[in-house]
Structure 1
Amino acid sequence: MGMQSYRDLKAVTEAIIRHENGRGVLSTPNTWYDQQTVDKGLALAGIESPKKTAGPIPVTRETIGATATGGMGIAQIADVLPQVSDAINQANGHLTSGSAVRMGIGVTLVAIAIFIAWAQIRRHQAGTL
């Protein structure tokens, strides 16, 4: 049993409350105080409750922008892909400049979307989002 462990001290605190006060009216383990009150008391004693782990990435303007940017990039690549495939199959070894530009734009947009998504995940994991 760790005297600095939140889990251990919370159980001991609630057991003491229940033993000293008898049965209360609440349906909590100690039957007298709600979860927030017990947590605040432990925090005042220097025992902080464990931090929650990161959940799903929240939807923000940045994540919507990354999704839209990635979608446009994928659409650009998908639009040009048949021409690229035809050029490779015919072994001409060249693409029209418009196709190459569209392919470049598509790859750039997908790269930007990946970077934005990565930045959002890092911010979320750091707790700043």
Structure 2
Amino acid sequence: MTTQKPRGIRNNNPGNIRRSNDPWQGLAKEQNDREFFMFKSAVYGIRALARLLITYQDKYGLCTIEMIITRWAPAVENNTKAYIQSVARHTGFAALQTLDMHRFEHLKPVLEAIIQHENGQQPYSDVEITKALVLAGVEPGQKSLQTSRTVKGGQVATAGTLGAGGIEAIQDSLEPATTTLMAIAPYLEAAKWLLLVVTLIGIGVMLWARIDDRRKGLR
């Protein structure tokens, strides 16, 4: 027996945005649902939900879960109190905590919690939701360059290269050394090869990070 998907998921409208005269981006050519919009892809439906949450804040000053959900799901047709509790529980934010819908780390969990409550599931990947939020004008915070996998690989490669150069400098300075000092030359040569291996590993990390990001649709 096949279980039918929730209406919001079928319509690519996981926020269950009701039909109106609003000319949303990405609307499906055929609007076969008389009550709710239908979008041509879930990304556009998620984007529309994000834009509404941003508008609630910018136009009406609604910046807490309690304020947002009270308008989103009025008590005349919803159990608003239960809805607020559900969103607070899924996001980890307090119902009266001040949020900023222009911040990715606030908007994303609130949006995901609304999708979960509206449909009984949140089936979309981080890549889909991130794409939708970027289309809505809210981008994720950039990772610090110090924590970037690509940069870390570069740091390893650079360290290896500089280290090899340092070994060469030491060797040059030992040219006039005595026979006793020259006895350590084999160890310096071995260290140089070790640093070469470290350099190659660093370059490999950078290349793998780029390939992995592309595979995940992050670049």
Give the TM-score taking structure 2 as reference length: 0.30
Higher relative contact order (CA 8 A, sep 6+): 1
Give the TM-score taking structure 1 as reference length: 0.47
